Amino acid sequence: MEKVYDLLVLGGGPAGLAAGMYGARARMNTAILEKGRPGGQAATTEDLENYPGFGRGTTGPGLTQAMADHAREFGTQFIADNIVSLDLAARPKKVVGRKGEYYGKAIVYALGAEPRLLKVTGEGKLRGKGVSYCATCDADLFEELDVVVVGSGDAAIEEAEYLSKFAENVTVIVIHGEGKVDANQVSFERALKNPKLKWVWNSTVKSINGEELVESVTLRNIKTGAETDYPTNGVFIFIGYSKAE
């Protein structure tokens, strides 16, 4: 049988990193399985000023890297693999990855969430070709270009501001009426003062258009039903998250 861990943590976001740190500190043989870079969603947010104890100037990648380093200092091991299946009835419990099999006396499930899709024409075809769900990852690709942000929650407004550091213009597509967003008021009021941000209210994205790269989005006004093509070089989608499988 392969090596048996006292604790296997599935997922390397903040919750998984904390579990790994506590497990290793308790002198348990602990490993974290993560398919990508540790940090989860928090690592994709550049400006992270609402984490308790950390004020302005904190970045998602910086904070989550510190969490990963903290876990490593106590002896947590990191395994890069994509989980395929679990056998929780086995003793010890069995985790099957694409690269190997892993066994643990106990398992912490901390797989987090995935970006929710618009599910409109062109989204899948142009993903990675102008369609993105991570401003921190892709903002520099749109320097001096025009982009749209879909959504009006905290992530959408905060990432729109981050994008404005790179893009020429950032247009926020909001399903609600003028002046109404789902984000906290502090972030919204700050965004309203940003001269690079434009706002399109009462609207949804019907399709994302382009051949090899994003060229435009078709917007639909939910009040009038009118449809318009809006030229853009990129589409950043922040409409929430769904539980990761």
Q: Domain check: are 95 and 126 in the same one? A: no
**Which residue among 89, 111, 133 closes a domain?**
111
80 C-beta neighbours (distance < 10 Å), count = 14
Residues in the chain, how many? 245
Q: Which pLDDT score, from 0 to 100, does residue 178 have?
A: 97
Q: Which pLDDT score, from 0 to 100, does residue 163 have?
A: 97
Please give the distance of CA 136 from its chain centroid, rounded to a whole number: 9
Q: Which pLDDT score, from 0 to 100, does residue 112 have?
A: 86
Structural domain including 62 reads 4-111
Please give the distance of CA 119 from its chain centroid, rounded to a whole number: 17
Instruction: Enter the pTM of the model.
Output: 0.68
- Lateral strand order in the sheet of 227-231: 203-209, 216-221, 227-231
Q: Domain check: are 69 and 163 in the same one? A: no
Q: Domain check: are 233 and 148 in the same one? A: yes
Q: Considering its fold, how many domains does the chain have in total?
A: 2
**Which residue among 111, 128, 146 closes a domain?**
111
pLDDT tens digit at each of 245 positions of the chain: 578 999 999 999 999 999 999 999 999 999 999 998 899 878 877 777 778 898 888 888 899 999 999 999 999 999 999 999 999 999 999 999 999 999 999 999 999 888 899 999 999 999 989 999 989 878 999 999 999 999 999 999 999 999 999 999 999 999 999 999 999 999 999 999 999 999 999 999 999 999 999 999 999 999 999 999 999 999 999 999 876 65
* C-alpha–C-alpha distance, residues 202 and 219, integer Å: 10
Using a 10 angstrom Cβ sphere, with 0-12 exposed, 13-18 middle and 19 or more buried, the burial of residue 196 is middle
Q: Domain check: are 136 and 239 in the same one? A: yes
**Which residue among 111, 133, 158 closes a domain?**
111
> Are 199 and 172 a contacting pair, CB within 8 Å?
yes
Angle between helices 154-163 and 185-192 (to 10 degrees): 30
Place of tokens 């006396």: 105
Please give the distance of CA 1 from its chain centroid, rounded to a whole number: 36
Q: What positions carry a catalytic annotation?
A: 134, 137-138
Q: Which pLDDT score, from 0 to 100, does residue 242 have?
A: 77
Q: Domain check: are 145 and 73 in the same one? A: no
- Lateral strand order in the sheet of 101-109: 77-80, 30-34, 4-10, 101-109, 93-97, 83-87
Q: Domain check: are 107 and 134 in the same one? A: no
Q: Domain check: are 136 and 197 in the same one? A: yes
36 C-beta neighbours (distance < 10 Å), count = 10
Q: Which pLDDT score, from 0 to 100, does residue 79 have?
A: 97
Q: Domain check: are 101 and 183 in the same one? A: no
Q: Which pLDDT score, from 0 to 100, does residue 244 have?
A: 66
> Are 239 and 148 a contacting pair, CB within 8 Å?
no
Q: Domain check: are 101 and 188 in the same one? A: no
Q: Domain check: are 122 and 173 in the same one? A: yes
The answer, yes or no, to whether the previous bond of 231 is cis (omega within 30 of 0) is no
Q: Domain check: are 188 and 158 in the same one? A: yes
Using a 10 angstrom Cβ sphere, with 0-12 exposed, 13-18 middle and 19 or more buried, the burial of residue 23 is buried
Q: Which pLDDT score, from 0 to 100, does residue 29 have?
A: 98
Which CATH number does the domain housing residue 13 bear?
3.50.50.60
> Are 137 and 163 a contacting pair, CB within 8 Å?
no
Q: Domain check: are 32 and 133 in the same one? A: no
